[in-house]
């Protein structure tokens, strides 16, 4: 029942919605749909949004074998290669205008990572060698321009000269390094290594896992730290519940792909500990709280946090054998069905739901961060895991 309901959500709701946002005049997909369901066809198109759409349709195609999904992925790929890539300096822009002209030329490591992630999946789906070549090119650029001895840097100007990190800094701090960017480089490189078996990428994955274990993970509190200075000293008392449960299953996926027993032995106990801590600390009212800053919980229910919780708890069940995690994953799915999915015709999921279960009408249905990556990936992961069979 659980898996079949999620399959229907993917095929009858999420996929048709995002197909409907295809821009056949200027390319790519429309960048903004308001809470009132007013489509802004001339809104800025975030390159992260386009990458995530490319990833989504590529993986939906590989799961469902529906040729129309590969066509949608090809449409996103064409837009990315034509408009989102900087031909002069290399790398992916932050955003472009509705017609593909550059809007924000910032180069961010996070953005490069999502392009690598999407291109690797598109290569797997289409066997288009151009996608794999571009993914490898972007990974080399990240390693050459976006790293230091300690780890991965964040924001740059168009020519890769340093820039302050407003885009991935929040909660009143300006971070020189972030857990979030590191996580998504890990995610991207895992997919690239899966389709390429490049030994250098495997080395970098092990390097990132070492940072995660030694610098990001707080063993005393059984959580990840979030914002850091250049030496990975934490800047704030912040527990990001959604990122912790997402990290737990993404790190486990990396361990599955690299197949290194030493790393599995060292790291997997951490991912189980993260999952248990989130279950104990943030699983409330059949859903997951957002985060906790200086001991105060943010009780908003964010769409991506709920989606990642379903996958993360399902993964924790598989890794630990503890049935409470599967029950919790199904419970959160029921919450999503009742409150997070927008039942209005022409809509998808609410961005955020308040503690009283009312949707946050100040948040749009589509914008540069609001995409089919988290909820679409939830559906794909649950269908592939076949936990009820």
- Check which CATH number belongs to the domain holding 27 and give it: 1.50.10.10
Instruction: Give the pLDDT of residue 388.
Output: 63
Q: CA angle at residue 49 from 116 to 386, to 5 degrees? A: 75
Residue 387 has pLDDT above 80, yes or no: no
Rounded Cα distance between 254 and 315, Å, is: 13
Mapping DSSP to helix (H, G, I), strand (E, B) and coil, where does residue 228 land? strand
What's the pLDDT band for 371 if we cut at 50, 70, 90? very high
For 227, the token pair is: 């914002």
Nearest alpha-carbon partner for 50 in 124, 131, 114: 114
Count of domains observed in the chain? 1
Q: Classify burial at 100, counting beta carbons within 10 Å of its beta carbon; exposed 0-12, middle 13-18, buried 19 or more.
A: middle
Instruction: Give the pLDDT of residue 172.
Output: 83
| Segment 81-98, tens digit of pLDDT | 999 999 999 999 999 999
| Segment 316-338, tens digit of pLDDT | 999 999 999 999 999 999 999 99
pTM to 2 decimal places? 0.97
* DSSP type of residue 94: S
| Segment 167-197, tens digit of pLDDT | 888 788 899 999 999 999 999 999 999 999 9
| Segment 199-231, tens digit of pLDDT | 999 999 999 999 999 999 999 999 999 999 999
| Segment 238-287, tens digit of pLDDT | 999 999 999 999 999 999 999 999 999 999 999 999 999 999 999 999 99
Residue 133 has pLDDT above 70, yes or no: yes
Instruction: Give the pLDDT of residue 254.
Output: 98
For residue 286, give its domain range: 2-385
pLDDT averaged over the chain?
97
């Amino acid at each position: 029942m659980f898996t079949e309901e999620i399959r229907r959500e993917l095929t009858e709701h999420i996929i048709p919605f995002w197909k409907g946002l295809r821009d056949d005049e200027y390319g790519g997909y429309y960048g903004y749909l308001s809470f009132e369901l007013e489509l802004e066809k001339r809104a800025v198109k975030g390159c992260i949004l386009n990458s995530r759409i490319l990833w989504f349709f590529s993986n939906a195609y590989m799961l469902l074998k529906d040729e129309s999904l590969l066509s949608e992925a090809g449409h996103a790929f064409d837009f990315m290669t034509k408009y989102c890539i900087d031909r002069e300096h290399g790398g992916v822009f932050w955003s472009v205008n509705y017609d593909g002209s550059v809007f924000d030329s910032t180069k961010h490591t996070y953005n490069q990572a999502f392009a690598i992630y999407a291109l690797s999946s598109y290569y797997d789906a289409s066997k288009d060698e151009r996608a794999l070549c571009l993914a490898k090119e972007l990974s080399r650029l990240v390693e050459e321009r976006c790293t230091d001895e300690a780890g991965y840097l964040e924001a740059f100007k168009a020519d890769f000269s340093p820039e302050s990190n407003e885009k991935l800094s929040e909660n009143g701090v300006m971070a020189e390094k972030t857990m979030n960017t590191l996580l998504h480089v890990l995610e991207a490189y895992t997919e690239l290594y899966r389709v390429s078996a490049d030994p250098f990428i495997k080395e970098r994955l092990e390097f990132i896992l070492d940072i995660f274990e030694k610098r990001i993970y707080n063993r005393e509190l059984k959580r990840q730290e979030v914002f850091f200075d250049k030496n990975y000293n934490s800047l704030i008392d912040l527990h990001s519940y959604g990122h912790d449960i997402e990290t737990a299953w993404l790190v486990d996926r990396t361990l599955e792909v690299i197949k290194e027993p030493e790393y599995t032995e060292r790291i997997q106990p951490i991912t189980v500990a993260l999952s248990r801590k989130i279950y104990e600390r943030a699983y409330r009212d059949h859903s997951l709280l957002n985060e906790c800053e200086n001991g105060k919980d943010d009780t908003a229910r964010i769409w991506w946090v709920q989606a990642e919780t379903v996958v993360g708890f399902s993964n924790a069940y598989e890794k630990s054998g503890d049935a409470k995690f599967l029950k919790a994953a199904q419970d959160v799915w029921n919450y999503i069905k009742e409150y997070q999915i927008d039942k209005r015709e022409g809509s998808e999921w609410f961005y955020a739901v308040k503690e009283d279960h009312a949707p946050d009408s100040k948040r749009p249905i589509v914008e540069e961060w609001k995409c089919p990556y988290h909820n679409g990936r939830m559906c794909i992961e649950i269908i592939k895991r076949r936990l009820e069979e």
